[in-house]
Structure formats: structure tokens, C-alpha cells
Amino acid sequence: MKEFIDEVLFNGAQKANVSLTTKQINLFKTYLTEIRKWSAKINITTIRNDPEILIKHFVDSLFPLEYIPQDASVLDVGSGGGFPGIPLKIASPSLYLTLLDSTQKKVNFQKHIIRLLRLYNIEAVHGRAEDKDIHRRIASPFDVVISRAFSGLGRFLSTGKPYLKREGLLIAMRGRYGKRQLADDAEVLVRLRLRLVNAVEFSLPYLNDRRTLLIFTNQ
């Protein structure tokens, strides 16, 4: 099983144009172990088998990395079990990460992982991005605002833009039909004065599940 996990992480990361060291792979393995333990108590993820956690959570989280500048400040909105923020931080330690989630138990899990993996320049915050007090608390604008968890593209863009620097990037991690959502939310793009700079379609390795990255910036 150990060799299988190593292979999936290494090869999956390569598909995302990310090279993982042995140390980084070991951090992911510890992360996986803790997800298993905590999932017995709280709902970290609905996925229960290791291969799908590795691919659908860890590897999937790495695909935006090549579009995120080195040393960037990143806000992960609705981070849940820490995805994509913690995998991005493991793979690129120079990032400055803020994880934001509305469920206290999941934030507690994130803080546990941050301590256990000894990750620096990363914090987990409990709250909703829409709330004014949270915006004041983490008021510094970010280079990148990213999310996997928002149910609607327009809602994410409306919520995420106030946290964004003038030249920053909003990255929406969507499913197979991500591009179709652009037409549905065209009015939101105009109202927010956002411009689509990239729409990247890819397949998750081993599973061939289709995914889409939609990357926006201010006009």
C-alpha cells in the first residue's frame, strides 16, 4: 500500500506539472492518515477510500499551482478539510496561505494539520467570507483567491473579489461543465468588472474525471 500511495502522489503531481520530493510525499501521507482518523469523528470528507482521497483531494488541489506566482498570498475560501490550500502549501512552501471555513470543527482539523506538518506562513480562520467582521479581520488584499467549495460560480466571484489585490487572480476550481457556467454568470463578470484570463480543462489521473480551472482578474 505504501508503494501505491507514493506512486499515485508522485505520478499524479507530475500530471499537474508539480514535482514532489520524498519529504513532501511523506507530509501528504501523514495528512491522509489524519483524515482517516478524524473522519471517524467529524465529516472531513464524504470520500472514504484512500485512492479517491489521494486523487480527488490531494492531486486535484495541485493543478492550480502552475498559475499561482511564487511567494503569493493566497486565500482559500470554504477550505473544508484544507483543500486546495494545504496541498498547495505542501507543494509550494513559499506561499502565504489563509484558510477560511464556516465550520469550526473543520477549522480545528486544519489547525491540527498545520501544527502536525509544521507548516509556516499559513493560518486557519473560522468564519464566512461574506461577513464584514471576517473581511476586517483578514483585510489585507491577496494575490490569489481560490475555492473548490462554492456552489455557484457567480457567488464565489462576488464573495472573493473584495479580498483581491488590484492585479490579483480569482481561481474557481469547477467540474466537467465549468465553461458552461461562464455563460450563466456573464452578467456577474460585467458587474464585477472581471476578465477571464484562462479556462483550463484537465482530467484527473487514474480516474479520468474532468475538471476545469477558471481564472479571472480585474479589468
What is the number of structural domains in the chain? Answer: 1
Which tens digit of pLDDT belongs to each residue from 41-86?
888 988 888 889 999 999 999 999 999 999 999 999 999 999 999 9
Task: Give 23-48 pLDDT, tens digit per residue.
Answer: 999 999 999 999 999 988 888 988 88
pLDDT for 138 equals 87
The x, y and z cell numbers of residue 201, run together, are 480543462
pLDDT at residue number 56: 93
CATH of residue 150? 3.40.50.150
Residue 138 sits in which domain range? 2-218
Alpha-carbon distance of 140 to 6, in angstroms, equals: 37
Query: What is the tens place of the pLDDT at every residue in 171-203?
Result: 999 988 888 888 888 888 889 999 999 999 999
Q: Which residue, 150, 148, 91, is CA-closest to 122?
A: 91
User: How far is 182 from 110, CA to CA, in rounded Å?
Assistant: 31
**pTM for the structure as a whole:** 0.95
Note the pLDDT of residue 1. Answer: 60
